[in-house]
Chains A and B, each alone.
Chain A
Amino acid sequence: MSWLDKPASETQIAHRARLWLYALAALVMAFLVLPTIIVIPMSFSASQYLEFPPREWSLRWYANYFGSTAWMQATATSLKAGLLTMLVATPLGTMAAYGLFVSRLGWARWVMPVLLTPIIVPVILVGIGAFYAYVRLKLVNTLLGVVLAHSMLAVPLVVMVVTSALKSYDMNQEMVARSLGASRPRAFLLVTLPQIRFAVVTSAVLSFLTSFDEVVVAMFVSGGDNSTLTRNMFNALRDQIDPTIAAISTVMIAVSSALILLSQLPGKGRR
């Protein structure tokens, strides 16, 4: 009996009878993964027209990217904005998640949904709202403005990730530390934080990526010397298909993937 005839699930259907299902799943997986990956080899093409596989290889689009002051400045802005967003959103979100989790006051039930609203409100509304406010606060085209808006977008993610970590953490451990004389901040830093560190690191990476990948809000509130990389890419995309974008995309994929991989390291063997 080949594996094809063996039952595939508890309902006793044979693998053979649902090969179509496997084929469909494989196609959908390919649809999810391939388009993004295909940009990588194409960015090394020598041709003006994006072809696959490239007939001739070259680094000219990378030379274009790394040789352009405008692109480099935008990249620096995006990296700075991402790092600062991470540094603002992670502690703010973690504090809020912890505070709301341990405080049993009725208010907590009202604060949580408010902190999560940035997920639900359409981002275009967030973008023009921030723009309107920033014109009055003189924050348009400033790094600070971008960081504040991106931190606001990242806070709900941090709150969600840290809250779910706290839910699976035994708060009695902190009680023990406190009954042995540790103050609450000390107990949190020495006992609780090390145990939820995987969630905190994950949410820090998510915060960075939220900012680094964000387009719509950046389009409205960033500009001039403080244009973000995504803003410039978006404007370039609307005009023509410049293969330099393929090179930039590859760099962005590399940055994101490296960060995700790094964030998985401390959790290894613990999940």
Chain B
Amino acid sequence: MSADAGPNAAGLARDARVERVVLLGLSLPALALVTVTMILPVGWLFWLSFLADDGSLSLVHYQRLVEQPSYARIFRTTFEVSALATLICIVLGYPLAYVLSQLPPRVAGVAMIGVLMPFWTSILVRTYAWLVLLQRRGLINTWGMELGLWDEPLALVHDLNGTLIGMVHIMLPFLVLPVYGSMRAIDRDYLKAAANLGAGPARAFRLVFFPLSLPGLMAGAIIVFILCLGFYVTPAVLGGGKVIMVANRIANDIEIFFNWGAASALGVVLLVLTMLVLWAASRLLRLDRILGGHGT
């Protein structure tokens, strides 16, 4: 090391450090936006949930959540609906992703447009479409009766059925995409090897293909489940007041009862439950993979 490399190196290091800070500063506007419009307000709600009506610190809102059976029912409904919707998504989405993953890439690309189309159509538009299809005088009932499949209009909407159908329709692409991605990445030679070693198609699928597709399936199922927990629009429109999920109750508490404390407490519990599910999932598989592999 020559004598004058010292100050030079120190200067360069300082410059590099300054530049890194400046570069990090580029993220400040976005960070400020998210902080001001989301993190601070949600933090505020968190604080509100611990205030009684007279402004003193208390756990009264949480106490109510525990004591009133109606809240327990809402949480049970939310979990049941989310779990059912996730399960149906898996049952419908896995075979679809499987078939798509074996199509030639060009054909699969065209079919993918169908899977992705719901992504760029408003949730509201799709919910409305189901309302039109499923109502008493809707298409399904009209066709079913014209074909003589049933005589009386079936109640397909304004209840759990309608809500589930609508939610599955909205969530299905979120399951199909990660599953499709993980299936495409599977090295087909493994399957040839399995066949060579005497495994029949079913056995090769069960012992080789399915385990390899599992990370994608888990990631998709967790995304679907978490997003389902916070659903508001679909149960509100297709549930007909019979399916009240946590988000619907929060909106009611604000719009009808102006009860910020109760709504905040519910919201905090919903957020904590969502985080818990994510945390549990991240212990099972790497979290950054769920979020699209953008961890550093």
On A, residues with C-beta under 8 Å from B are 8-13, 17, 21-22, 24-25, 28-29, 31-33, 35-36, 38-39, 42, 49-52, 88, 92-93, 95-96, 98-100, 102-105, 107-109, 111-112, 114-133, 148-149, 151-152, 155, 159-160, 163-164, 184, 209, 212-213, 215-216, 219-220, 230, 233-234, 237-238, 241, 245-246, 249, 252-253, 256-257, 259-260
Contacts and interface: CB of A to CB of B under 8 A. Distances in A.
Given A92-B30, A129-B42, A29 B128 contact: no
A2 B122 CA distance: 44
Contacts of B102: 8-9
Nearest to B127: A237
B45 A164 contact: no
B52 interface: no
SS class of chain A's interface: helix, strand, loop or mixed? Answer: helix
B270 interface: yes
A184 B15 CA distance: 13
A133 B41 contact: yes
Interface stretch (B1-9, B68-76, B136-144): B136-144
A127 B129 CA distance: 25
A116 B26 CA distance: 16
Interface of B: 19-21, 23-27, 29-31, 33-42, 44-45, 48, 92-93, 95-96, 98-100, 102, 111, 114-115, 117-118, 120-133, 135, 137-139, 142, 169, 172-173, 188-189, 191-192, 194-195, 199-201, 204-205, 209, 226, 229-230, 232-233, 236-237, 246-247, 250-251, 254, 260, 263-264, 267, 270-271, 274-275, 278, 291-296
B41 A28 contact: no
Q: Tell me which of B40, B260, B291 has the highest count of chain A C-beta atoms within 10 A of its own C-beta.
A: B291
Contacts of A219: 251
B114 A99 contact: no
Q: Tell me which of A28, A92, A164 has the highest count of chain B C-beta atoms within 10 A of its own C-beta.
A: A28
Q: Tell me which of A17, A50, A163 has the highest count of chain B C-beta atoms within 10 A of its own C-beta.
A: A50
A50 B120 CA distance: 24
Contacts, number: 284
A122 B270 contact: yes
A128 B267 contact: yes
B230 to A, nearest CB: 3
A11 B128 contact: no
A250 B9 CA distance: 64
Contacts of A51: 139, 142
Contacts of A209: 120
A119 B131 CA distance: 27
A11 B199 contact: yes
27 contacts: A9-B102, A10-B192, A17-B201, A21-B98, A25-B98, A35-B130, A39-B125, A39-B129, A52-B139, A96-B26, A96-B31, A115-B27, A116-B294, A117-B38, A121-B274, A122-B229, A122-B274, A123-B247, A148-B36, A152-B38, A209-B120, A216-B233, A233-B128, A241-B131, A245-B128, A249-B122, A253-B121
B188 to A, nearest CB: 5
> Considering the complex of A and B, which 8 residue pairs feature the smallest CB-CB distances, nearest first?
A99-B26, A122-B230, A129-B41, A13-B201, A213-B122, A96-B27, A103-B23, A10-B191
A267 to B, nearest CB: 13
A25 B95 contact: yes
